[in-house]
Structure 1
Amino acid sequence: MKKVVVIGAGTMGNGIAHVFALYNYQVAWVDVSASALERGLATIDKNLDRQLKKGDIDEAKKAQTLANISTFTDITAAVAGAALVVEAATENIEIKLKIFENLDKICPAETILASNTSSISITRIAGVTKRPEKVIGMHFMNPVPVMKLVEVIRGYATSDEICAQIMDISKDLEKIPVEVNDYPGFVSNRVLMPMINEAIHALYEGVAGVSEIDTVMKLGMSHPMGPLQLADFIGLDVCRSILEVLFEGFGNPKYAPCPLLVNMVNAGHLGMKTGKGFYDWSNGTKNIAVAPRFAKKQLPTETF
């Protein structure tokens, strides 16, 4: 299983393509935009340079990794002879269903279809294919070349054989795979997103400011970054989408996105990728905490 197709040239797609190529898989990288693929290759080149400077790889390994990647805008050409397809497109259910419905038609019968989705049901995705036993979640963490975890999500019909193969492939990439079942948010986001949402509520209700909330979680709970900075890193639109999946899946109001998060997404303040979220990222790095509009200035007073 040495030919892998990666669909999507965004942040996750370029990280997944990078890692597979680094471990000598032949990567067919697909996106509808040739310019997005070009930018993605430039990102991989830059990230390989970081690994080179740290002594993790040498020049020959960098050159071989880049040589292992071929880019395509024609998905049919890309999937020919592929043993595994990893979809890393936008976290949108309709887009993913269309991709998998098409993949099922054009991929060889033995091809495993995996999704990097962070919250969308693998069982639902598998339902649009005629090979549900070969559909699985392969949820990498961002940044993919650095983070060790792969959350391996079994759909309702995923076979033991396919799950075992994906666990082995993850280990081949020197990742640590963890097998979980297909329920909204899986494990990672079922636990993480309510924490981020609660941090946004604390800001919204005037409990504390952005940097204060993040400092409490970093120094008090030993988190490497605070929940509001992490939300900016993930993308506030992605956080909102995952919370909506949780809310729809469980029907529990505790998962409803905070009104402040909804307002910020509607305003286009999505975090690092737009230069502004809970922090100002306009210079490419976290600069200063921003006080979002419509956050309450103080805790509400009650009359007894």
Structure 2
Amino acid sequence: MTQSLPKLRLGTRGSPLALWQAHAVRDALLKAHGWTEEAVEIQVIRTTGDAITDRALSQAGGKGLFTKEIEEALLERRIDLAVHSAKDMATTLPDGLHLVGYLPRADVRDALILREGWSLEHLKPGAKVGTASLRREAQLRRIRPDLQVSLLRGNVQTRLKKLDSGEFDATLLALAGLTRLGMEARASVILDMADFLPAVGQGAVAIESRQRDLAVDSLLVPITCPATGLALRVERAFLGELDGSCRTPIAGHAEIVNGEIRFRGAVLAPDGQRYYEIVRHGPPNRALELGLAAGREMRAMVPHDIIPAA
């Protein structure tokens, strides 16, 4: 490390999954730069989203609830970098901050965890399914409108504990989170993306820094995955043109295939009974434009009772 940067401080939430992500960034930095363990410090910061467990994020203020206090610490220079789940981030960042790095993306698919059985079809009519995601709820209702979907907040372990205790018959979680925690065996079935398109940013670890902090940003160059960055540029632009506040069921996924960006986005009515989809391809150097155009086209397609007019 240089004398001007004696210790790099990473800010993160304190859940087991958030800590896994922060340690993954820390380990990548240590390996890339040949540093000793003392060179990077992880600071746990409790966020508003961690404190609110009795209602959906859409009712409490949206995505920024999981990043607000961490971003404040970054702006106040109490930390040097913030490590987030990309899907938790608002599409508009606070002035003075930007996304500067992404780890290689994990599997983006959702997993269904059942208390009994091994497929969605095994859920009895009226079974109680817990989720905090409007997107997952709408996609589930689209296929199984007979199910009872209720709010289930908390970290992965908390949700699985409530499932095991019999409070719920099933829940849906990101496969990436289960895998990172060594709990992928809990997945009863990995859901097909044809029916369960993931959240924007799902499976990606995002690293945020202060703008014009070039010394810090340069440290992330060797650990950043360009393909993940391009995919998230498309997805976040798409979401930003719609409603990125968690109040509308929105899904989107981009990937680089044979040198081309392939993007699929979807918007659903909350009850899942109306579904709108868009598919677009384009060159990587037009990632931002592709996402923005897809978002504008989707907004023109979706009725105002689902996404209010801009």
Q: Classify the TM-score, shorter chain.
A: under 0.3
TM-score, L = length of structure 2: 0.27
Higher relative contact order (CA 8 A, sep 6+): 2
The structure carrying a bigger helix percent of its residues is 1
The structure carrying a bigger strand percent of its residues is 2
TM-score, L = length of structure 1: 0.27
Instruction: Name which one, 1 or 2, has greater alpha-carbon Rg.
Output: 1
